[in-house]
């Protein structure tokens, strides 16, 4: 398969020229060079030559009049607001000098279309009841959370997950009651005091014992779900002068004590390893650690622990957690990469990457997410220089655009493919649903959590930021279309894209009325849906940053499909076996991240944008918000 042109060259129209003031001289000479005039000039008659002279003379005349817009642009370009703009300039010599001066480079600004975006999408937003309507929709999400929790509480309390169809509990994550801890801060944010009370008393009475007694757990899963959940609960219940969203429940220090106990055991994955790369698994009861059977750790797993470990060090006053976590990132910085892209496996024994497989789906995804998020978390602290994380992130995003991004045929959806045999091999047009975290991360990386409007007003965006934001918007659309192209309105676990080099017939998503039904291919083995959060996560971030209501509308459509096809009457929601069939067969599992992430992001998407602002909180990869502390 041949590679098509890189995304950045082919598709992005943020040509600097768009933002530059072009001098009249340039316009004039460029016209001469590019229009018919040039061709005809070779044999031009005296009459035509005189005509040209007249145009030139007219141009000079125009320049002897004041041009305020031009002066304002100059002021902006220098970043200074001066009164010069209003002065009459009479010196023709200066004007001629201007003719030959290089046009200044202006900071990017919102186009008039973008400025009015939130007034013209549905035509309804000026109506007084629009916010009321979103509040009502937000209440629906809250009701869904209550229904999910009630199923879990009735049939699986204390187990990691609920099997809603069998009405049983199952321990798929080592037996720490993962759903309880993952769900707790969502309940706090939603103001569900009874759930907070039930979840927190279970944690107070059982979690420490479980941590002392349980066997093998995965370092990454336990960190992002359980440790992350505890740390967020600590802050949201008032710890570290945090918010007091929880009216009921234990003192924040109780969450902190449990978090420390757990993290002390997890640290053995770092300290037993012969390199700075931690082993993948820990036996909690004896604080021993070992690598996975193949001896390897996932790249995303070893690089997705640092937000949690850093915050724990900040609030406990003990630097050891942060020190171990950050050693990993410092080491990853030194390893060879392909345009910032990394293989999905790494060996804790050698400290080197293993294999050539490069992707932003499973085992690769949150490496890229944490580069920018850890930088956002630490950039204002005085603990060291973390610019290298931002550099690694930017280089990687350039690599994504250059090596992985393509467009589908016939309807040109932008997608992120994979390099299963490394950078010299073919690009597979396969995109995991997991990759849908990327648009949110790109948007966050561009504006650092501010709205695009504010970031542009304050001249904070570079052209690269805008380029990344444009890609974020294109990919969010693709992720949404992965839902709307199926019969159920729910995305498959994996999609393939029809390109000029790749097509398989008879594998569409089933929604024949979708414009993209021929662009997206869904193989039989990939048709399941695990109630994953990545797309609604990106919708939430994109809505916060662009303020474009279409992201809310898309979120609502997805939520309605979850309600219609995944809800189990007796309590809980179930993952599905096949999103292309109606009714879809249920898989009998409610993943913890449905409560921890999916419903939290939907709730925040439909709610007031001042709650959990993205420039003050960084969400760990399991959607547990941690405050960004300044120095």
Residue from 493, 578, 588, 622 carrying the catalytic annotation: 493
Q: Which residues contact 286 (CB under 8 A, 6 or more apart)?
A: none
Q: Is 493 a catalytic residue?
A: yes
622 contributes a contact to ligand DMJ by CB under 6 A = yes
Q: In this chain, which stretch among 165-173, 531-539, 570-578, 603-611 interacts with ligand DMJ, using CB under 6 A?
A: 531-539
394 contributes a contact to ligand DMJ by CB under 6 A = no
Q: Shortest gap between Cβ of 300 and ligand DMJ (angstroms)?
A: 7
β-sheet bridge partners, residue 567: 573
621 contributes a contact to ligand DMJ by CB under 6 A = yes
Q: Shortest gap between Cβ of 532 and ligand DMJ (angstroms)?
A: 4
533 contributes a contact to ligand DMJ by CB under 6 A = yes
The answer to whether residues 414 and 18 touch, using CB atoms and an 8 Å cutoff, is no
Q: Shortest gap between Cβ of 595 and ligand DMJ (angstroms)?
A: 12
Task: List, as one string, the DSSP characters of 525-589.
Answer: GG--B----HHHHHHHHHHHHH--THHHHHHHHHHHHHHHHHB-TTS-B--BS-TTSSSPPB---
Q: Shortest gap between Cβ of 498 and ligand DMJ (angstroms)?
A: 25
Token pair, residue 26, equals 């340039």
Rounded CA-CA distance 537/548 in Å is 15
Q: Is 324 a catalytic residue?
A: no
Q: Is 534 a catalytic residue?
A: yes
Residue from 324, 534, 537, 591 carrying the catalytic annotation: 534
Cβ closest to ligand DMJ, residue 25 vs residue 437: 437
Q: Give the neighbor-by-neighbor strand order of the sheet with 494-497.
A: 430-432, 494-497, 520-521
Task: List, as one string, the DSSP characters of 168-230.
Answer: EEE-SSSSS-HHHHHHHHHHHHHT-HHHHHHHHHHIIIIIHHHHHH--EEEHHHIIIIIIHHH
Q: In this chain, which stretch among 131-139, 171-179, 281-289, 529-537 interacts with ligand DMJ, using CB under 6 A?
A: 529-537
561 contributes a contact to ligand DMJ by CB under 6 A = no
Cβ closest to ligand DMJ, residue 222 vs residue 511: 222
Rounded CA-CA distance 194/287 in Å is 35
Token pair, residue 546, equals 């662009």
Of 147, 532, 587, 589, the one binding ligand DMJ (CB under 6 A) is 532
Q: In this chain, which stretch among 133-141, 155-163, 478-486, 527-535 interacts with ligand DMJ, using CB under 6 A?
A: 527-535
593 contributes a contact to ligand DMJ by CB under 6 A = yes
Cβ closest to ligand DMJ, residue 324 vs residue 534: 534
Q: How many residues bind ligand DMJ (CB under 6 A)?
A: 10
Q: What is the largest CA-CA distance in the chain?
A: 98
Residue with tokens 């193989």: 523
Cβ closest to ligand DMJ, residue 452 vs residue 528: 528
Site for ligand DMJ in 319-378 (CB under 6 A): 366
511 contributes a contact to ligand DMJ by CB under 6 A = no
Q: Shortest gap between Cβ of 593 and ligand DMJ (angstroms)?
A: 4
Cβ closest to ligand DMJ, residue 252 vs residue 439: 439
For 587-616, give one letter per residue: b (16+ CB within 10 A) or e. bbbbbbbbbbbbbbbbbbbbbeeeebebbe
Residues across the chain: 631
The answer to whether residues 527 and 580 touch, using CB atoms and an 8 Å cutoff, is yes
Q: Shortest gap between Cβ of 525 and ligand DMJ (angstroms)?
A: 18
529 contributes a contact to ligand DMJ by CB under 6 A = no
Q: In this chain, which stretch among 12-20, 476-484, 516-524, 532-540 interacts with ligand DMJ, using CB under 6 A?
A: 532-540
Q: Is 563 a catalytic residue?
A: no
Is 621 part of any known ligand binding site? Answer: yes
- The residue nearest ligand DMJ at its CB is 621
Question: x/- string (CB under 6 A) for ligand DMJ, residues 413-452?
Answer: ---------------------x------------------
The answer to whether residues 28 and 56 touch, using CB atoms and an 8 Å cutoff, is yes
Cβ closest to ligand DMJ, residue 368 vs residue 593: 593
Q: Radius of gyration over alpha carbons of the chain, in Å?
A: 28
CA angle 545, 550, 551 (to 5 degrees): 50
Residue from 221, 467, 481, 537 carrying the catalytic annotation: 221
The answer to whether residues 313 and 321 touch, using CB atoms and an 8 Å cutoff, is yes
Residue from 74, 160, 301, 365 carrying the catalytic annotation: 365
The answer to whether residues 147 and 571 touch, using CB atoms and an 8 Å cutoff, is yes
549 contributes a contact to ligand DMJ by CB under 6 A = no
Rounded CA-CA distance 622/218 in Å is 15
Q: Shortest gap between Cβ of 20 and ligand DMJ (angstroms)?
A: 41
Catalytic sites, residue numbers: 221, 365, 493, 534
Question: Which spans of this chain sit near ligand DMJ (rule: CB under 6 A)?
Answer: 224, 366, 434, 532-534, 593, 597, 621-622
Binding-site entries for Ca(2+): 621
């Amino acid at each position: 398969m041949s590679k098509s042109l890189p995304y950045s060259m082919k598709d992005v129209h943020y040509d600097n020229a768009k933002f530059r003031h072009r001098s009249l001289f340039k316009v004039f000479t460029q016209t001469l060079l590019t229009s018919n005039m040039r061709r005809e000039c070779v044999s031009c008659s005296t009459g035509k030559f005189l005509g040209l002279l007249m145009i030139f003379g007219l141009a000079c005349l125009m320049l002897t009049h004041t041009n305020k817009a031009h002066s304002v642009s100059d002021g902006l370009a220098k970043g200074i607001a001066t009164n010069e703009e209003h002065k009459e300039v009479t010196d023709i010599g200066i004007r001629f000098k201007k003719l030959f001066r290089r046009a200044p480079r202006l900071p990017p600004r919102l186009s008039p279309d973008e400025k009015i975006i939130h007034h013209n999408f549905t035509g309804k937003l000026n109506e007084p009841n629009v916010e009321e309507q979103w509040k009502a929709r937000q209440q629906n999400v809250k009701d869904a959370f209550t229904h999910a929790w009630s199923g879990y509480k009735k049939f699986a309390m204390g187990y990691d997950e609920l099997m809603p169809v069998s009405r049983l509990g199952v321990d798929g994550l080592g037996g720490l009651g993962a759903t309880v801890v993952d769900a707790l801060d969502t309940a706090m944010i939603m103001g569900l005091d009874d759930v907070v009370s039930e979840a927190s008393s279970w944690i107070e009475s059982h979690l420490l014992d479980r941590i002392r007694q349980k066997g093998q757990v995965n370092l990454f899963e336990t960190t992002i779900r359980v440790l992350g959940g505890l740390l967020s609960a600590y802050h949201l219940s008032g710890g570290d002068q945090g918010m007091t969203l929880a009216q009921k429940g234990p003192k924040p220090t109780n969450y902190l004590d449990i978090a420390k106990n757990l993290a002390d055991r997890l640290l053995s994955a770092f300290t037993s390893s012969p390199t700075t790369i931690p082993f993948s698994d820990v036996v909690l009861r004896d604080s021993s650690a070992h690598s996975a059977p193949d001896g390897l750790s996932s790249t995303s797993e070893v690089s997705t622990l640092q937000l949690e470990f850093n915050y724990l060090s900040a609030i406990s006053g003990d630097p050891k957690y942060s020190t171990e976590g950050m050693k990993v990132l410092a080491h990853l910085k030194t390893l060879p990469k392909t345009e910032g892209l990394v293989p999905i496996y790494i060996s804790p024994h050698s400290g080197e990457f293993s294999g050539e497989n490069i992707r932003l789906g499973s085992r690769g995804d949150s490496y890229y997410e944490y580069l920018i998020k850890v930088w956002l978390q630490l950039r204002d602290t005085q603990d060291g220089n973390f610019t290298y994380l931002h550099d690694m992130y930017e280089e990687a995003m350039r690599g994504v655009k250059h090596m992985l991004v393509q467009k589908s045929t016939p309807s040109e959806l932008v997608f992120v493919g994979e390099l299963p045999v490394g950078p010299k091999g073919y690009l597979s047009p396969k995109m995991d649903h997991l990759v849908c975290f990327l648009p949110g991360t790109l948007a966050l990386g561009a504006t650092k959590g501010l709205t695009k409007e504010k970031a542009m007003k304050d001249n904070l965006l570079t052209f690269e930021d805008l380029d990344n934001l444009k890609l974020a918007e294109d990919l969010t659309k693709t992720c949404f279309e992965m839902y709307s192209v199926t019969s159920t309105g729910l995305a498959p676990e994996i999609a393939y894209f029809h390109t000029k080099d790749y097509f398989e017939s008879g594998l569409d998503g089933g929604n024949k009325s979708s414009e993209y039904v021929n662009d997206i291919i869904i193989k039989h083995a990939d048709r399941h849906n695990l109630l994953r959060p990545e797309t609604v996560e990106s919708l939430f971030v994109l809505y916060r940053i662009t303020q474009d209501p279409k992201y809310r509308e898309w979120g609502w459509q997805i939520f309605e499909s979850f309600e219609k096809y995944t809800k189990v009457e007796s309590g809980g929601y179930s993952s599905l076996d096949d999103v292309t069939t109606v009714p879809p067969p249920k898989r009998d599992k409610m993943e913890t991240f449905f409560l921890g992430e999916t419903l939290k992001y939907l709730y925040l998407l439909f709610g007031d944008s001042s709650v959990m602002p993205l420039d003050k909180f960084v969400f760990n990869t399991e959607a547990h918000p941690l405050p960004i502390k300044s120095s």
